[in-house]
Amino acid sequence: MEKMLTGIRSTGTPHLGNILGVIIPSVSIANKKKKYTSFIFIADLHSMIQIENIKEIKDNTYQIAAAWLAFGLNTKNCFFFKQSDISEVTELAWYFSCFFPYQRLTLAHSFKEEIKKDKGRISVGLFTYPILMAADILLYNAEIIPVGKDQLQHIEITRRIASHFNKKIGKKLFILPNAFLQKETMSVLGTDGNKMSKSGKNWINIFSEENILKKQIMSIRTDSKSLEEKKDPKTNYIMSLFRMIANSEKIDTKYTEGRYGYLEAKIGLYEHIIHKFSKERKRFFSFMKKKSLLDDILYSGAKKAKNIAMKRLNYIRKNLKFNSII
Ligand code: ADP
Ligand code: TRP
């Protein structure tokens, strides 16, 4: 059985980019229980780098959990948990950080981008972010990692860490994982034309109240073509969103014929989203009213995952010759 693993940070409500890029494809893998063993977690330790207020991280954790469940994740078939419940991951991250060259990490985009903005505010955690991510993956020897395009470099670093460590120990302790990307949805753009992200305030949040969701869609930036002008559906952002979530042929024709304005297109998109995700919206709101159920689900997922994590870490310790002191 192949192992799939992925994580979403609890830094806000999951947006359409997270949903199309990661949640939908991962649920479809995780629910094939006979083919895959799946690990899906909420990366709350990684969230601490961005959000200092733990209460906020906890509130967001419920939102991420509810979103996975709303999209039909069958938690009986997989390991569904919070990263912080598996302390083994931080120990493994330490071993990696002792072996991995500092210089390599300075090349990570996540670090290079931030250091350009404000050197003084960068934490050590931000710098070692990819090491913790590698530990998340390699602790379980996961092979398939569904992620968006922005995470490709982190997967590459994980592969380097794995092979570096294997060489050092002289044994194939870690499997080199592969990113699993959806061509169409690996980088969903936000309302301002940049990559949609929780921190960019450019998201489309399908779990917002209807009027807020409508506002988000109405704020999609467009060019200034008039109603009458013909528009190219291939280069149009509203159309590209349509294409990701629906059969867009009818709208393609309307666009190219002219007399179809951006306002109509946005209203169409809004109505389509509300209709298409009505079941998931209902489920999301219902789970959000049952926080103790969410706690229970995550707790039992953590218990199962911890069992595996402990065994794996013991094996890794043995190979590091640490086991005799424990
Ligand atoms: P965000 O960048 O919005 O804070 P996360 O860092 O928690 O989201 O990302 C969780 C997963 O969702 C990652 O695998 C990431 O690559 C993916 N992802 C984030 N934004 C997008 C997007 N706009 N399009 C496709 N996938 C995305
Ligand atoms: N770094 C990922 C992000 O920002 C979240 C994450 C943490 C992750 N650990 C992971 C994703 C392991 C895949 C596998 O989105």
User: What's the gap in Å between 203 CA and the centre of ligand 1?
Assistant: 11
- The reply to whether CATH 1.10.240.10 applies to domain 210-276 is yes
Condensed to tens digits (0 to 9), the pLDDT of residues 52-67 reads 899 999 999 999 999 9
Return the higher-pLDDT residue of 258 and 129: 129
Condensed to tens digits (0 to 9), the pLDDT of residues 70-116 reads 999 999 999 999 999 999 999 999 999 998 999 999 999 888 888 88
User: What's the gap in Å between 251 CA and the centre of ligand 1?
Assistant: 28
Which of 57, 154, 180 for a ligand 2 pocket mutation test, highest count of atoms within 8 Å of Cβ?
154
Domain boundaries, the chain: 2-188+291-325, 210-276
Q: What global pTM score does this model have? A: 0.94
pLDDT of amino acid 258: 65
Q: Up-side HSE of residue 301: CA atoms within 13 Å toward CB?
A: 25
Q: How far apart are CA 17 and CA 244, in angstroms?
A: 10
DSSP codes of every residue in 255-267? HHHS---HHHHHH
Task: Ligand 1, residue 189: give the atom nearest the CA.
Answer: 23
Is the pLDDT reported for residue 324 higher than 60? no
Q: How far apart are CA 323 and CA 326, in angstroms?
A: 5
Question: Quick one: pLDDT band at residue 247, thresholds 50, 70, 90?
Answer: low
Highest mean predicted confidence (pLDDT) among 48-57, 230-239, 249-258, 288-297? 288-297
The residue type found at 138 is L
Is the pLDDT reported for residue 117 higher than 90? no
Residues contacting ligand 2 via CB (< 6 Å): 5-7, 9, 43, 46, 133, 136-137, 145, 147, 151, 154
Is the pLDDT reported for residue 21 higher than 50? yes
95 token code pair? 């071993």
Q: How far apart are CA 288 and CA 36, in angstroms?
A: 28
Condensed to tens digits (0 to 9), the pLDDT of residues 184-203 reads 999 999 999 899 998 888 99
- The reply to whether CATH 3.40.50.620 applies to domain 2-188+291-325 is yes
